[in-house]
Amino acid sequence: MLRITLAQINPTVGDVAGNVESARRAALQAAQAGATMIVFPELSLTGYYPGDLLDEASFLDSVDRGLAELLAATRELPQLHWVIGAPLQREGPGKLLHNGLLVLKDGRIVLRYAKQLLPTYGIFDERRHFEPGPDVTRVLRIGDTQVGFMICEDGWNDDNRDYPVNPFQRLADAAPDLVVSINASPSHVGKREHRHQLFARACARHGFPLIYVNQIGGQDQLVYDGASFAVTPREGVVFEAARFREDIVTLEFAGAMFTLAGGAPLPAFNRAGLPAPEFYRRQIVLGLRDYARRCGFAKAVVGSSGGIDSALTLALAVEALGAPNVSAVTMPSQFSSGGSVSDSQQLCANLGIALHAHPIRDLVSAYAGGFEQAFAAPLQGLAHENLQARIRGTILMEYSNAFGHLLLTTGNKSELSVGYCTLYGDTNGGLGLIGDIYKTEVFELSRHLNAAVGRELIPVSIIDKPPSAELAPGQRDTDTLPPYETLDTILKQLIEGASLGSEERAEVQTRFAALAAGSEGGALVARIRQMIARNEYKRRQAPPVLRVRARAFGSGRQMPIAAHYG
pLDDT tens digits for range 163-199: 999 999 999 889 999 999 999 999 999 999 999 999 9
Q: With beta carbons less than 8 A apart as the criterion, state whether 87 and 37 touch.
A: no
Q: With beta carbons less than 8 A apart as the criterion, state whether 281 and 445 touch.
A: yes
Does the annotation mark 413 as catalytic?
no
* Residue 253, beta-bridge partner list: 2, 258
Residue 368 and residue 407 in one domain:
yes
Q: How far apart are CA 444 and CA 454, in angstroms?
A: 15
Given this model, what pLDDT does residue 566 score? 65
| Greatest mean pLDDT among 161-165, 243-247, 263-267 | 243-247
Mean pLDDT value across the chain: 94
Least confident of 15-24, 29-38, 255-264: 255-264
CATH of the domain at 68: 3.60.110.10
Mean pLDDT of 68-73: 97
Residue 310 and residue 166 in one domain:
no
Active-site entry in 105, 131, 152, 413: 152
Give residue 469's pLDDT band: very low, low, confident or very high (50, 70, 90).
low
Question: Given phi > 0 = left and psi -120 to 50 = alpha, else beta, which region is 178?
Answer: beta
Residue 414 domain flag: yes
Residue 145 and residue 91 in one domain:
yes
Residue 288 and residue 181 in one domain:
no
Q: Is this structure's pTM higher than 0.85?
A: yes
Out of 199, 229, 264, a domain closes at: 264
Q: With beta carbons less than 8 A apart as the criterion, state whether 8 and 228 touch.
A: yes
How many CB atoms neighbour CB 382 within 10 A? 10
For residue 126, pLDDT over 90 is answered with: yes
Residue 219 and residue 318 in one domain:
no
Residue 176 and residue 98 in one domain:
yes
Given this model, what pLDDT does residue 84 score? 98
Residue 291 and residue 231 in one domain:
no
Domain span including residue 152: 2-264
Residue 415 domain flag: yes
Residue 481 domain flag: no
Q: Which long-range contacts (CB under 8 A, 24 or more apart) does 29-33 make?
A: 29/5, 29/248, 30/5, 30/77, 30/80, 30/248, 30/250, 31/77, 31/79, 31/80, 33/3, 33/5, 33/250, 33/261
Active-site entry in 42, 240, 441, 496: 42
The fraction of the chain above a pLDDT of 70, given in percent, is 99
Q: Residue 26: what are its φ and ψ, rounded to 5°?
A: -65, -40
Residue 563 domain flag: no
Given this model, what pLDDT does residue 471 score? 66
Does the annotation mark 492 as catalytic?
no
Residue 183 and residue 45 in one domain:
yes
Given this model, what pLDDT does residue 39 score? 98
pLDDT tens digits for range 391-446: 999 999 999 999 999 999 999 999 999 999 999 999 999 999 999 999 999 999 99
Residue 270 domain flag: no
pLDDT tens digits for range 311-362: 999 999 999 999 999 999 999 988 777 778 899 999 999 999 999 999 999 9
For residue 386, pLDDT over 90 is answered with: yes
Residue 335 and residue 363 in one domain:
yes
Residue 38 domain flag: yes
Residue 535 domain flag: no
Residue 456 domain flag: yes
Out of 428, 447, 475, a domain closes at: 475
For residue 472, pLDDT over 80 is answered with: no
Does the annotation mark 191 as catalytic?
no
Counting beta carbons within 10 angstroms of the beta carbon of residue 472, is it exposed (0 to 12), middle (13 to 18) or buried (19 or more)? Answer: middle
Query: 401 versus 1: which is more confidently predicted?
Result: 401
Out of 456, 475, 494, a domain closes at: 475
Active-site entry in 105, 115, 492, 538: 115
Residue 211 and residue 293 in one domain:
no
Given this model, what pLDDT does residue 291 score? 98
CATH of the domain at 471: 3.40.50.620
Residue 57 and residue 16 in one domain:
yes
Q: How many domains does the chain have?
A: 2
Residue 201 and residue 285 in one domain:
no
Give residue 467's pLDDT band: very low, low, confident or very high (50, 70, 90).
confident
For residue 476, pLDDT over 80 is answered with: no
Mean pLDDT of 506-523: 93
pLDDT tens digits for range 284-321: 999 999 999 999 999 999 999 999 999 999 999 999 99
